[in-house]
Structure 1
Amino acid sequence: MKRAYNFNAGPAALPLEVLQQAQEQFVEYGGAGMSIMEMSHRSALYENVNNETQALMRELFGIPDNYKVLFLQGGASQQFAMIPMNLLREGRPGAYVMTGNWAEKAIKEAKLIGETVVAATTESDKFMRVPSQSEIVVPENAAYVHLTSNETIGGTQFQQYPVIGGNVPLIADMSSDILSRPVDVSQFGLIYAGAQKNLGPSGVTVVIIRDDLVAESPKHIPAIFRYDTHAKNSSLYNTPPSFSVYMVNLVLKWIQSKGGVAQLEQFNRDKTKLIYDQIDQSGGFYTGAAHADSRSVMNITFRIHTEELEKQFVKESEQHGFVGLKGHRDVGGLRASTYNAVPLESCKALAEFMADFQKRNG
């Protein structure tokens, strides 16, 4: 079987070794005579998977002891609502850094819950960059500051996270770049990520939350939406997405086998450079969409000077086994998502295809 060159933005590429291991264990897991999808989430065998996956997240991401690791459902979109439900307070607005589509969706949900303010926005630059530290203005009474670490649509990424003064917790949606590089988790009050880009398949959302924020969960909202509910029950309050958690477990072991997050960061930069170099050395045939100092290592967005050529590029790329290179419908253009599991060989093949396409159409 020839594997596709998978550049989908999410759900996205998974490591072949992980898929093969899951295939081997699909019908029977751990000598139980059944699939992990069939067993009780209260069983010792599944609880071990749940606990081990939490421990692996802690080890690989350097998560301090005063944080909980939760496995929830509903994707990042549910977190857009859960965060303000749990953390907004009367007279204390949620401050949002606006860097594109996903940040906009987060603030839209928060406005339904309570007061919000925009701490910074790059809308005037069509969200093709992230704001500098000096542009981010946070009210002293803010309940939290929320940012999107990596915007998949525009292809922008914070190269360094802003330092927020006072006791205002920093919250980050890291759905599309979690575990792609080392992060100082202690800089954040809460980190969340849908799994379907760098951690595993869709269905499970990882939430890393500091203990003091867990304790703030208000009792007037439904139990299922309170962080303390899930923390007290080790993410087993209700039936979890057990197969997705198991797959995250395998992906974390794969990351461990590759030397950890620091090694993955170098791997990601090496493979992404192949494509960015092809853009930058094309003499203007290709142009990068995001500002150079805000370029994402996870989502490479670029344009060709006519829409007709972009459509031709997508059509021909699909004929050559490439998947997912059409840009998001909101911004158009082209996009290659180069998450952790995208092999170096796929990026080499894309760079070669881009060079050949330019030669034939330049």
Structure 2
Amino acid sequence: MKVLVTGAAGFIGMHLSQQLLARGDEVVGIDNLNDYYDVRLKHARLARLQALPGFRFQQMDLADGARLLLLFAQERFDAVVNLAAQAGVRYSLTNPGAYVSSNLAGFVNILEGCRHYPVKHLVYASSSSVYGANSKLPFSESDAIDHPVSLYAASKKSNELMAHSYSHLFGIPTTGLRFFTVYGPWGRPDMAAWLFTDRMLRGETIQVFNHGQLRRDFTYIDDIVEGVVRLLDHPAAPDPAFDRMAPNPDTSFAPYRVFNIGNHQPVPLLTFIETLEQVLGVTANKEMLPMQAGDVEATYADTDRLRALTGFAPATPLATGLQRFADWYRDYHQL
């Protein structure tokens, strides 16, 4: 296939592009290379991709609708994987405009491209954050997601609603992927694995929110990519059993679906830190802090739907994934 991967210089985007290229797909990657975090890391990821046959790159912002539509017209993609977004829960508290521009306006432009130049499948990144204030665990795709606790979460729920409208109106097969706390080599500097590793190796204090009483369904990057690729190969179709009198949020009369991709094993934050201490051989100095605005106490993915359709569900143990991350981190920073 010829696949458009947006956010190709990002953490998941780089790994996904590598996997698609390895199996023989042609990948056109776009990214605006913004400075939300160190642009040098994005360029280093991009350099890896540009060394591979079958990959082409254009620096582009999803908010530039005219240019994006021209790209769709020129390339005639078979499929699109939209990973480009303004990420981060806490950043949304101080820079809401970035989320409106990228996650809302940018996503409309992706949908318009798929409408005017039809693709076999649009797969897009949603987030576990859409479950918001829900306390019933594990989180199931059939759960209501009506109470987001951050603008980032609200933007991701909005993406799912927008995708459904285009699936219904224009027959575009769309699949939303609710990722759960992704970590691994080439990860983002604003996420726990990188933040903690950086400060621990410098002998600095790490900030532990909610006094360590958080649980996260940490999911290793290779498992995320495997889930994305398998779902990409199963275009969404209307659910013949959909009941309009008792509608289920995770299916539809339209070619629309959503899936959790998570490790199905929530880990206490203090256990995460202890495991990181073991793989780094360093003891963390911890500053216990209260809950941050926009955070949730626990995430936990129900992955039954993913397993039923694809035969796959993430299962990389935390110790294995963190060891791989720590080895990469030391190599990348020449420590």
TM-score by length of 1: 0.24
Larger relative CO (CA 8 A, sep 6+): 1 or 2? 1
Bigger Cα Rg? 1
